[in-house]
């Protein structure tokens, strides 16, 4: 009789857990996956995928407006929110089926129930069944965080509910200045809502390059989105179908929807972590792990947003794959969390990889900045008042490109390719030696020859 019921028990059927389960099963492990909601996790069910579909849909309004400059006469158009939501639901259901099928094809078993740790090797399912496992992987992701309690918090929606609204709000207040808040601001504005963004900091997109922050804000404001910084929502009153949002500044805003997007917290509650001896990282509230994704308990690992390291789907997938390779493939793999490309599907779009100008100055003594801000070719005919930002951050001592920051159409698509060069430690000379692809916006990345700023850190005397 086997010592354990399964070789691997995965808690959570999201991107990281599914990848780990499939790879481990392919190595011959007996695997069970517990998912209490829907297979696919945050990204597929209520995150990046439906969000990107909404973003794409919201772009159409701008495309219609821009068409006139290219000779198109488009008659009266209309938009139906319910159709968008229904079609999105169909696509998410298809993806959920695909995730389920792929896990089952690998030989792993899915149980649609909650699993709680009783000790380092035992799990209790909500069905009452107990399962013992040689290894356990926690991949329960994260959830929206509403922050400190404010009066009327019960009237506020998160990004989860935004995907299932019965109708498009005519006016919406969104608290938050990060990527989720700005992406939904662009989505609702694109579909015709009056949007107000409220953020406690001095400017949106904290942690991003300062030029990116300024550029995105200016472009969003050009598109009619109101951005109020330096204050927070203090109270939300409901009047029938409408709301009044009271700000810490003393002003108030009327709307028919209020959304909070002020961050996410790791899903660690109620998992039985204490019973199993799994430690929480006091710095971020996520499960504490080492470079191999191992927790404080030798046979228990954690990947993805529940660790609160780099909360991005491709990172969770890479971590899950590395875990399975290391533990079941006997091929030790550590994930390199440096130089991770990221995108914000705001309008305009942001793509970034590597260091910001400020980070580079802190780490390197000589830093050169190459930056351009230009009107894209499409705008010359459409007449739209919009500009593209492209920026390279270079270590002047070695000529290595440390970071690339793009704001504009297809920024994410361009950044994915540039990320390969940055990861390979390409130099500015390598960029300069690359022939431009004309006419494109991205050709600017290989034609910027003169630094727009040079930073030299004086040595301490």
pLDDT digits (tens, 9 = 90+) for 41-55: 888 898 999 999 999
Q: Do domains 6-144+265-327 and 153-262 have the same CATH topology?
A: yes
Name the class of domain 153-262. alpha beta
* Catalytic residue, candidates 149, 239, 241, 438: 438
pTM: 0.94
C-alpha to C-alpha distance for 391 and 210, rounded to whole angstroms? 11
C-alpha to C-alpha distance for 331 and 458, rounded to whole angstroms? 45
Strands 109-111 and 171-175: unpaired
Structure tokens at 431: 């960029």
Residues of the chain above pLDDT 90, percent:
94
Which among 403, 410, 338 has a CA at the least distance from the CA of 370? 403
> Does pLDDT of 256 surpass 70?
yes
**Fold classified for 6-144+265-327:** FAD/NAD(P)-binding domain (3.50.50)
C-alpha to C-alpha distance for 358 and 55, rounded to whole angstroms? 30
pLDDT digits (tens, 9 = 90+) for 92-149: 999 999 999 999 999 999 999 999 999 999 999 999 999 999 999 999 999 888 878 8
Beta strand spans in 316-433 (E): 342-344, 350-354, 366-374, 388-395, 401-407
CATH of domain 348-453: 3.30.390.30
Query: Is 59 known to be catalytic?
Result: no
Q: Between vectors from CA 279 to CA 275 and to CA 284, what angle results, nearest 5°?
A: 135
Average pLDDT score over residue span 234-245: 94
For the chain, the structural domain boundaries read 6-144+265-327, 153-262, 348-453
Q: Is the peptide bond before 348 cis (omega within 30 degrees of 0)?
A: yes
Instruction: List beta partners, residue 367.
Output: 395, 455
C-alpha to C-alpha distance for 221 and 189, rounded to whole angstroms? 11
Which helix (H) or strand (E) element contains residue 188? helix 179-190
pLDDT digits (tens, 9 = 90+) for 173-216: 999 999 999 999 999 999 999 999 999 999 999 999 999 999 99
């Amino acid at each position: 009789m086997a010592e354990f019921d399964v070789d691997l028990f995965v808690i959570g059927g999201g991107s990281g857990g599914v990848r780990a389960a499939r790879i481990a099963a392919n190595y011959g492990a007996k695997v069970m996956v517990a998912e209490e909601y829907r297979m696919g996790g945050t990204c597929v069910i209520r995150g990046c995928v439906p969000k990107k579909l909404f973003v794409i849909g919201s772009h159409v309004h701008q495309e219609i407006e821009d068409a006139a400059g290219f000779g198109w006469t488009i008659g009266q158009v209309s938009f139906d929110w319910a159709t968008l939501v229904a079609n999105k639901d169909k696509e998410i259901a298809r993806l959920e089926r695909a995730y389920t099928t792929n896990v089952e094809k690998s030989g792993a078993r899915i149980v649609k129930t909650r699993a709680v740790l009783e000790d380092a090797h035992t799990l209790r399912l909500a069905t009452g069944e107990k399962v013992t496992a040689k290894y356990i992987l926690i991949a329960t992701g994260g959830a929206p965080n509403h922050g400190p309690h404010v009066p009327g918090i019960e009237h506020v929606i998160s990004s989860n509910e935004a995907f299932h609204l019965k109708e498009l709000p005519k006016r919406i207040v969104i608290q938050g200045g990060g990527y989720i808040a700005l992406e939904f601001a662009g989505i609702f504005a694109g579909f015709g809502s009056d949007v107000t963004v409220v953020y406690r900091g001095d400017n949106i997109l904290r942690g991003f390059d300062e030029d990116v922050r300024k550029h995105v804000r200016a472009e969003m404001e050009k598109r009619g989105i109101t951005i109020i910084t330096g204050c927070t929502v203090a109270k939300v009153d409901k009047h029938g179908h409408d709301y009044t949002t009271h700000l810490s500044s003393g002003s108030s805003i009327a709307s028919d929807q209020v959304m909070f997007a002020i961050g996410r917290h790791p899903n660690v509650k109620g998992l039985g972590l204490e019973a199993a001896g799994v430690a929480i990282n006091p710095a971020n509230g996520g499960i504490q792990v080492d470079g191999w994704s191992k927790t404080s308990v030798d046979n228990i690992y954690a990947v993805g947003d529940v660790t609160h390291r780099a909360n991005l789907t491709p990172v969770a997938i890479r971590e899950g794959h590395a875990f399975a390779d290391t533990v079941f493939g006997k091929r030790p793999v550590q994930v390199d969390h440096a130089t991770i490309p990221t995108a914000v599907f705001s309008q305009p779009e942001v793509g970034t990889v590597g260091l910001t100008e400020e980070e580079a100055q802190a780490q390197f003594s000589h830093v050169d900045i190459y930056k351009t801000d230009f009107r894209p070719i499409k705008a010359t005919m459409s007449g739209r008042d919009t500009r593209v930002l492209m920026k390279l951050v270079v270590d002047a001592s070695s000529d290595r490109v440390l970071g690339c920051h793009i704001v504009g159409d297809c920024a994410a698509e361009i950044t994915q390719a540039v990320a390969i060069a940055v990861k390979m430690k390409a130099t500015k000379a390598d960029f300069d030696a690359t022939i431009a692809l004309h006419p494109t916006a991205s050709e600017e990345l290989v034609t910027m020859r003169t630094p727009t700023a040079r930073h030299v850190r004086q040595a301490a005397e």
